[in-house]
């Protein structure tokens, strides 16, 4: 209970700081390039506009972040950029995360996950993601990952720290390692494909 109260207090303090900083920075913005805009329509009762950071949809926001990074890098080779490849990969991620069925089976030292779908598009996403993840992440955390295609998806066998593996389940294992951001950037630059 004490930690909950401390968390709430910290949240209120942070909100107050953000509110204070936002109201102080608004005048500077008004003097800049946005001074010709009617900000009164965006304000309610004199309160500052909130700092908007979300792109509205996770895949869109991920693409937006990559595009901004590409624009910010003067060395970007625009002849190699392939944002559509990134979009297709994010579709695969969405399919596997939200539309696949997962059956877990405990095995000595870990677990085996059978990941399936009746939808051919989701099946293709399952195969692409599962096989690539096993090949990339085998050995991370000292775990052995093996993947194989099945008729309606793929199977992932993970052995190592069986308690963690079983607790994470299939989708938890798919998130291990901060490789996704680098992979997304490489896809967008046309450097790799799934």
Which pLDDT score is estimated for 11?
39
Residues 25 and 31: their CA atoms lie apart, in Å, by 10
pLDDT in tens, 119-169: 999 999 999 999 999 998 999 999 999 999 999 999 999 999 999 999 999
pLDDT in tens, 104-116: 999 999 999 999 9
What are the angstrom distances between the C-alpha of 146 and each of 39, 115, 130?
Answer: 56, 13, 9
Phi, psi of 44 (to 5 degrees): -115, 120
Q: Check: pTM over 0.75? Answer yes or no.
A: no
Q: Is 155 left (phi over 0), alpha (psi -120 to 50) or beta?
A: beta
Best CA proximity match to 128, nearest among 160, 103, 105, 94: 94
Confidence of residue 54 (pLDDT cuts 50, 70, 90): confident
Q: In the beta sheet, which residues pair with residue 148?
A: 155
């Amino acid at each position: 209970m004490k930690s909950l109260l401390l968390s709430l207090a910290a949240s209120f303090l942070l909100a107050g700081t953000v509110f204070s900083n936002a109201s102080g920075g608004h005048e500077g913005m008004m003097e800049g390039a946005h001074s010709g805009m009617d900000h009164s329509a965006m304000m309610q009762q004199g309160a500052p506009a909130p700092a908007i950071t979300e792109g509205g949809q996770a895949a869109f926001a991920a693409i937006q972040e990559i595009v901004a990074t590409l624009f910010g890098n003067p060395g970007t080779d625009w002849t190699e950029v392939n944002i559509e490849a990134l979009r297709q990969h994010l579709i695969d991620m969405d399919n596997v995360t939200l539309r696949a069925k997962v059956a877990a089976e405990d095995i000595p030292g870990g677990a085996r996950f059978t990941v399936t779908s009746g939808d051919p598009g989701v099946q293709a996403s399952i195969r692409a993601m599962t096989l690539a993840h096993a090949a990339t992440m085998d050995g991370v955390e000292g775990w052995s990952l093996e993947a194989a295609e099945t008729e309606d998806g793929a199977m992932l066998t993970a052995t190592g720290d069986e308690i963690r593996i079983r607790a994470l389940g299939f989708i938890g294992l798919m998130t291990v390692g901060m490789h996704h951001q680098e992979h997304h950037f490489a896809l967008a630059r046309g450097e790799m494909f799934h």
